[in-house]
Amino acid sequence: MNFSLMMKIYRNPEFSQWSELLHRPAADTRALESAVLPILEAVKLRGDAALREYTARFDGVALTDFSVSESEFQAAEESCPKDLKKAIRLAQKNIETFHRSQIEKHEEVETLPGVRCWRRSVPIERVGLYVPGGSAPLYSTLLMLGVPARIAGCSEIVVCTPPQPDGTVHPAILFTAKTLGLSKVFKVGGAQAIAAMAYGTESIPAVYKIFGPGNAYVTAAKQLVARDGVAIDLPAGPSEVAVICDATAQPAFVAADLLSQAEHGTDSQVLLITWDENTLKAVMREVERQLTDLPRRDIAQKALENSKAILVNTPDEALQLSNAYAPEHLIIACADARALAQRVTNAGSVFIGHYSCESAGDYASGTNHTLPTGGYARAYSGVSLDSFVKKITFQHLSPDGLRRLGPVIETMAEAENLSAHRRAVSIRLNYLKTNTIDR
């Protein structure tokens, strides 16, 4: 066994070491932006012509039409295995159930007699969904984004996903799109797809907000178009998981969870936190054993080199360390997992107990797997129904309401030297002195 080739082990690190210990692999953002900016500009200026060039260069496919045809949807449905179609439909049902529960009830509040305020959720009219389709065609991402977009009532939903070497889209992605009623699917990937959805081309409509994960170039493209006023879902980078476990944990379970994230990409990171030395050693042995027959072994191996196993003194310290890291996914594999989960303050999504594998959230439990990474879980939430709507506030003041509130507004406006603000109230109050109205 050679632990040095896998995760780095730290035993009882001092608090002063935590910042360095929890450091994530960092990409060269300047180099990424330098590579991505010309792509964005080219698509912005030359539309479909630029898309054809980049699709030929990066995907090795010569396309004249980026739209997925009805016959392609039909062929995908026929070729998609029955058991996979059944699984997708069940996952869709669970995701719909969870996200429908997030619909807010309309409530009006009377802050003063005659002063009523309320808030209404309004769907974002045009949204773009990016679905990775390279080494891992993430049809599950389309479920996670397409389901809440439909529930929210977005009137135009555009899907972009890279073509396969034969110029088609993976059948599972197309079956999922058809199941969700999404017909605007385009065979475009990478930074050029983000540019197309941000600025629009002859074939692909521009959208107001772009969702979805991707490689470093896709992430950089999303961040750059956000500077041009196109909203994005959240800051997202390499996938990550932290697992807090005690002596009751099954080492094989924990190792499998760590590897399930490590196989995402060479820049992924996993973190093992425990206060039991024997558990740490047992998990490390299991990681090495399971790694040997993993199809994406080389990718996972590289990710493990960026990863850490940390032995702490107490459960309290484990939670403090996890909250400081703010993981995208947090698994708590402990005897008192539910109690510990109540004290989590920073995490994208939490998996409680020995049987709550992170894969459940990735696919079918119902929660969304589009989550903040890179420590952004300290301030950002994962994608939800709220991500696809705007919250617009409304207020209505009756004449009596203005009489009650008006003097307060006048006083506050005067104190800020904003005379026009004060006048907007005073002119109405003066009118009410000589006129009787009831609305």
pLDDT given at position 397:
97
pLDDT digits (tens, 9 = 90+) for 151-162: 999 999 999 999
Q: Could you tell me if 149 and 388 are in contact, meaning their C-beta atoms sit under 8 angstroms apart?
A: yes
- The verdict on whether 354 is a catalytic residue reads no
On the CB side of 175, how many CA atoms lie within 13 Å of its CA? 23
Q: Which single residue is written with the structure tokens 């608090």?
A: 15
Report the Cα 338 to chain-centroid distance in Å. 24
290 among the known binding-site residues? no
264 among the known binding-site residues? yes
pLDDT over 80 (residue 3): no
323 among the known binding-site residues? no
Q: Could you tell me if 374 and 24 are in contact, meaning their C-beta atoms sit under 8 angstroms apart?
A: yes
- Catalytic residue chosen out of the listed positions 170, 329, 354, 369: 329
**CA-CA-CA-CA torsion sign (315, 319, 320, 322):** positive
| pLDDT category of residue 304 using cuts at 50, 70 and 90 | very high
pLDDT digits (tens, 9 = 90+) for 343-360: 999 999 999 999 999 999
Torsion of CA 287, 292, 294, 299, to 10 degrees: 80
96 among the known binding-site residues? no
pLDDT over 60 (residue 2): no
pLDDT digits (tens, 9 = 90+) for 98-157: 999 999 998 999 999 999 999 999 999 999 999 998 667 899 999 999 999 999 999 999
- Please, what are the domains in the chain? 3-25+238-366 (3.40.50.1980), 29-107+125-235 (3.40.50.1980), 398-434 (1.20.5.1300)
pLDDT digits (tens, 9 = 90+) for 17-28: 999 899 887 777
Three-class SS of 207-250:
CCEEECCCCHHHHHHHHHHHCCCCEECCCCCCCEEEEEECCCCC
Predicted TM-score (pTM) of this structure: 0.93
Torsion of CA 50, 52, 58, 63, to 10 degrees: 170
pLDDT digits (tens, 9 = 90+) for 235-245: 888 899 999 99
Nearest Cα residue to 182 out of 222, 155, 212? 155
- Catalytic residue chosen out of the listed positions 328, 354, 358, 369: 328
